[in-house]
Amino acid sequence: MTAFAAVDLGASSGRVMVGDLSRGLDLTEVHRFPNQPVRAGNRLYWDMLALYREVLTGLRAAGPVAAIGIDSWAVDYGVLDDEGELLGNPVHYRDGRTEAVLDDVLAKVPREQLYAETGIQFLPFNTVFQLAADSRLRWAEHVLLVPDLLSYWLTGVAGTELTNASTTGLLDPRTGQWSAEVAKRLGLDTGLFPPLRGPGDFAGMYDGTPVYAVGSHDTASAVAAVPATSPNFAYISSGTWSLVGLELDEPVLTEESRAANFTNELGVDGKVRYLRNVSGLWLLQECLREWEVESLSPLLAAAAKLPRRSVVDVDDPRFLPPGDMPSRIAAVCAATGQPVPETPAEFTRCVLDSLAEAYRKAIDDAVRLSGRRVDCVHIVGGGARNELLCRLTANACGLPVVAGPVEATALGNVLVQARAAGAFGGGLGDMRELLARTQPLREYRPG
């Protein structure tokens, strides 16, 4: 059997895709569903059971497959008690609960030391801060990151996948083991996480079908599927977030790198994903929600006819929580003395110009901090469908942009399980060569 099911949960939607390797690599979407967080009692939660139900529906729609792999967004987790029961819904990383504990955590382990030990960019929602704010830990037997939780429900076997573990702010990227020093200082028991396992490790059986750990951090799977044909590439994994950076062999843990907000997450095949979390199409998603607009195409067409006017810092912490995004963007434009967008097309243009500018800066910084060269920028994920964004990025960076695959995450997920199951042989280079040959890509030249 040459078909593999990839379960891929993004922050805005989830999907179950089937990748067939019998002739090249064909990817078919068998089920897609919205991922709609729920605010209850002043807390923002993921609707975990609804997501699990959709995963089961998707796996039924997939039919017989050789194996299954699961990936999702990073950092969030479920807490299990000593009977394996989920204690409450996993809390959404955009919830504000960590604000109250940040100072306390950073007093115990200063930012500089946290970075030197774990290589993770400071973001208020890193798992390390969430755990410090989580009162459920007093009953916890296990903490399972979201893809590991789904895998546990499917197979009954608990594990912690390495690429996603590297996003917690508790793992040492040099050793691939938990940082005993950080855990000790914070009084956190990393033994709550089940044993570590890597992409390609067998994770258990679901209904007679093997489940393999993949790059269970969605960005790890996406980066594995960047269809690069030469080594000097930068990538932008463009969805709700934009993850912008380079693939390296070793982490960069310098103070300069910390100050520039670069993260060292672990990738497939021992690589380091040296990148910056740039707040991505989230800004546009929240604008659309506010305007109650479903279709992006007319807005993008109108925005393409406008000139560049106002540019905001998309990583302004004020943009992080859900809510009225146009008002927040307007306020930032006004405060920085720029023209305030008025129409939806003007807001759209402002967001896309701001994203292209943030991409340029992140790539410039990555080049400077790593000493590497970049000749080409790959955009993968839903943002690869946004022609205006791709064009603005090529112009801002002064580099060719290759856009696609849109479903890079699912493709990376499929290839890692296919390799584990013996249906595909080769390393990252072979995967990328296969993708470059089989997937539809578009190139944009700087104009």
71 is catalytic: no
* Residue 243 lies near ligand LRH (rule: CB under 6 A): yes
Draw the binding track, 224-263, toward ligand ADP (x: CB under 6 A; -: no contact): ---------------xx-----------------------
The piece of 133-141, 188-196, 310-318, 377-385 that touches ligand ADP (CB under 6 A) is: 377-385
The piece of 139-147, 195-203, 212-220, 422-430 that touches ligand LRH (CB under 6 A) is: 212-220
Which C-beta is closer to ligand LRH: that of 217 or that of 328? 217
* Residue 277 lies near ligand LRH (rule: CB under 6 A): yes
Which C-beta is closer to ligand ADP: that of 13 or that of 113? 13
Contact between 428 and 269 under an 8 Å Cβ cutoff? The reply is yes
Compute the residue count for the chain. 447
Catalytic residue (one of 71, 148, 172, 218): 218
Draw the binding track, 65-104, toward ligand LRH (x: CB under 6 A; -: no contact): --------xxx-----------------x-----------
What are the DSSP calls for 274-312, one per residue? EEEEEE-THHHHHHHHHHT----HHHHHHHHTSPP----
Which C-beta is closer to ligand ADP: that of 123 or that of 158? 123
Residue with tokens 């790959």: 378
Between the alpha carbon of residue 13 and those of residues 61, 138, 242, 275, 307, the distances in Å are 17, 32, 16, 23, 31
Contacts of 15 (CB under 8 A, 6+ apart): 7, 8, 29, 31, 32, 33, 58, 407, 410
d(CA 395, CA 413): 31
d(CA 402, CA 443): 4
13 binds, among ligand ADP, ligand LRH, none (CB under 5 to 8 A by kind): ligand ADP
412 binds, among ligand ADP, ligand LRH, none (CB under 5 to 8 A by kind): none
Draw the binding track, 285-304, toward ligand ADP (x: CB under 6 A; -: no contact): x----------x--------
Draw the binding track, 8-27, toward ligand LRH (x: CB under 6 A; -: no contact): --xx----------------
Residue with tokens 């405060």: 335
Comparing CA positions, the residue from 86, 74, 262 lying closest to residue 165 is 74
Which C-beta is closer to ligand LRH: that of 217 or that of 391? 217
Compute CA 392 distance to the chain's CA centroid, rounded to the nearest angstrom: 22
If binding means CB under 6 A, how many residues of this protein chain bind ligand LRH? 14
93 binds, among ligand LRH, ligand ADP, none (CB under 5 to 8 A by kind): ligand LRH
Which C-beta is closer to ligand ADP: that of 160 or that of 386? 386
Between the alpha carbon of residue 398 and those of residues 266, 395, 429, the distances in Å are 28, 5, 26
- In three-state secondary structure terms, 259 is helix
Which C-beta is closer to ligand LRH: that of 48 or that of 423? 48
* Residue 385 lies near ligand ADP (rule: CB under 6 A): yes
* Residue 284 lies near ligand ADP (rule: CB under 6 A): yes
What are phi and psi for residue 194, nearest 5 degrees?
A: -60, 170
- For 73, half-sphere exposure in the C-beta direction (CA atoms, 13 angstrom radius) is 26
Which C-beta is closer to ligand LRH: that of 244 or that of 434? 244
Residue with tokens 């146009």: 326
Torsion of CA 236, 242, 246, 247, to 10 degrees: -90
Give the residues lining the site for ligand LRH (CB under 6 A): 10-11, 73-75, 93, 217-219, 239-241, 243, 277
Which residue numbers are catalytic? 218
Give the residues lining the site for ligand ADP (CB under 6 A): 10-13, 239-240, 281, 284-285, 296, 381-383, 385-386
